[in-house]
Structure 1
Amino acid sequence: MTAFPQVDAYRGGAGLIRVIGHRGARGVMPENTLEGFRFTFDIGVDVLEFDVVMSSDGVPVITHNHALLPSAVRDGQGAWLQREDIKVADLTLKELRDLDVGGLDSRSDYGRRFPDQAFLSGAVMPTLAELCALVQEPQYAHVSLLLELKTDLSDPDIDALRSAQVAAVVDVVRAHGLTERTALHSFDWALLDECRRQAPEMPTSYLSEAPRGEGASCQPDGVTKAGSLPEVVAKAGGQMWCPWFEDVTPELLDEARALSLPVVVWTVNEVDDIVAMIEAGVDGIVTDYPGRVQRLLLERGLGWSARVSTPPVAV
């Protein structure tokens, strides 16, 4: 397997489990905003997991969904959006920047999920270039980017879109000199093949979620027939496996370790679940509440950053 030094940012070890801020720190700050990202870095989190999609004029922007979420987006007059079918890919960067993404509608189901999230006014959807400029600031030289590329698999031109999206994203990362601090990350495993073709210097991270009942799986059809997930990821050329935390077993963790694949689980928010992942010995925990994970690690004498030693815990 080709050595990628970037992967060390996600690899745990003795006394070390990585804390990875999901969309920043979604539990307490508006998600996928520069304000939320800066907060996340300032509390000592070394890794950021975030989502990139494309505007209609070909600009990589940071937002989670292909369509704008009405309960998280306000128009220029401050009113919550009413439609659920407004696609990011149908709007120019200028049109997207006219929207406010600094808070949640507390009356909505989504807003009730995050009652402690701060409410800001004037926060705009950032571009990937703006995030890259932020992590170039000297105080954030330690930050690594777990960059999730989102694709709409229902699009008939999906192959062309994959190629264009990867090219645009890689151009931005390279232009800011951040290839040594970036891993490319996706549920779309065919897109990760394209990432390796266009950016062989950057590691690829494989997201997965096993089928549940009648729900659709977030991993390609036939994967389990080809072997265990760690085996399939390694054979495909991946450098990291990122499963839904409920899919992790001791056997799979052992297989991943034997293959030198860090295991980074998503998205772990409840105390009991965080503790279970700590005790399982995963490499990293993606979470909406990085401070919560930090405290639980400290209580156990564990750290989350190779840069600093773990402070003593008073007893």
Structure 2
Amino acid sequence: MKIAILLLLNFSIMAQMPFLQGHRGCRGLFPENSLPAFEHALGMGVQVLEMDVCLSADGQVVVSHEPYMNSLYASHPSGEPVLKSEESALNLFRMTYAEIRTYDVGKRGNRLFPEQRAVAAVKPLLRDVLAMGEAFRKKTGKPIYYNIEIKSDPAEYGKSQPAAVADFSKAVHAVIAEAVDWKFVVLQSFDFDVLRYWNKVWPKVSLSALVDNESPSHVVTELGFTPAIYSSSYKQLDASRIAYCHSNGMQVIPWTVNARVDIQKMIDLGVDGLITDYPDRSPKLP
């Protein structure tokens, strides 16, 4: 009976979420985690925006994959490229948002993504991304969903993020609660301490356990509860793992599936959604 209720709860929470998620907006096409990327993804028909969040020195929730300026694509206010040797000093948690937004993160492009358009961009605030998505929803009538990853690492507690996951979580929760109905939100993290905290304090929020190769049974045991979503590298998925998840009340949403052949393989395996840098390569757009 308990398992049946769990199945019903998790699947009802996620039942309306579209299949395709634009990874960091659409990193393969526009600068990652930027307003131009999220805007382009929405214009393509993507209805689930996947993103990462960090905190600034003044407590602002910043949309960024790393808690520092990445030398692959970031530029100083002077226009000079950020060097690899400078990354650790450009710690977002030690910079105010006013300082952060003076750095460009798009006009150099990204050599790892040759199709990415080089355009000027800054690391946006979470509230601004949510405002864009909600404005698009009101304009078009389409439901827009948000898969928000708290970029947390126990090795970085008190260094590039707050010492307590509670402080990080409360800051993120406050921004989301002010902007969006929770039925359109998934909170994800690789840090299981973050997920445990959210499950305890805000148990109605849909949670996604991000993993590389951990089996779904191991995830449930380690977490101490069953998350709504099991989100592993697509390379680690097979039919047995997907079957286990579905029989135990979890949806399966792999990351980051970019090749068309791999996208089709995941669809054929029966995943519930997928995260991709290239939404234009998926047959699952509206």
Q: Number of residue pairs matched?
A: 271
How much does 1:272 deviate?
A: 2.2
| Cα 1:115–1:179 shift into 2, 3 Å | same
Q: Quote the residue 2:9 is aligned against.
A: 3
Distance 1:57 1:267 in 2: 32
Distance 2:170 2:134 in 1: 21
- The percentage of aligned residue pairs carrying the same residue is 27
RMSD: 2.2
Distance 2:62 2:261 in 1: 34
How much does 1:21 deviate?
A: 0.3
Distance 2:108 2:255 in 1: 22
| Cα 1:239–1:291 shift into 2, 3 Å | same
Whether the 8 Å contact between 2:74 and 2:103 is mirrored in structure 1 is yes
| Cα 1:43–1:238 shift into 2, 3 Å | same
Quick one: which amino acid aligns to residue 151 of structure 2? K
Gaps of 5+ in 2: 1-5
| Cα 1:40–1:46 shift into 2, 3 Å | same
Distance 2:55 2:82 in 1: 20
Q: Which stretch has the larger CA shift, 51-60 or 177-186?
A: 177-186
Q: Quote the residue 2:40 is aligned against.
A: 39
Quick one: which amino acid aligns to residue 114 of structure 1? F
How much does 1:136 deviate?
A: 1.6
Distance 1:66 1:145 in 2: 20
Q: Which runs of 4+ in 1 moved over 4 A?
A: 156-160
Distance 1:160 1:133 in 2: 29
Q: Is 1:258 matched with 2:265?
A: no
Distance 2:46 2:237 in 1: 23
Q: Quote the residue 1:14 is aligned against.
A: none
Distance 1:8 1:131 in 2: 24
Distance 1:73 1:191 in 2: 28
Deviation string for 1:149-180 (max 9, x for gaps)? 01132135488431111101110111113322
Whether the 8 Å contact between 2:230 and 2:250 is mirrored in structure 1 is yes
| Cα 1:8–1:257 shift into 2, 3 Å | same
Q: Is 1:118 matched with 2:117?
A: yes
Deviation string for 1:206-237 (max 9, x for gaps)? 01112xxxxxxxx6xxxx6xx72465488523
How much does 1:6 deviate?
A: 4.1
Quick one: which amino acid aligns to residue 57 of structure 1? D
Distance 1:56 1:44 in 2: 35
- 1:159-174 matched pairs, under 5 angstroms: 160-174=163-177
Q: Quote the residue 2:184 is aligned against.
A: 181
Q: Quote the residue 1:90 is aligned against.
A: 94
Whether the 8 Å contact between 1:10 and 1:264 is mirrored in structure 2 is no
Whether the 8 Å contact between 1:6 and 1:183 is mirrored in structure 2 is no
How much does 1:198 deviate?
A: 3.0
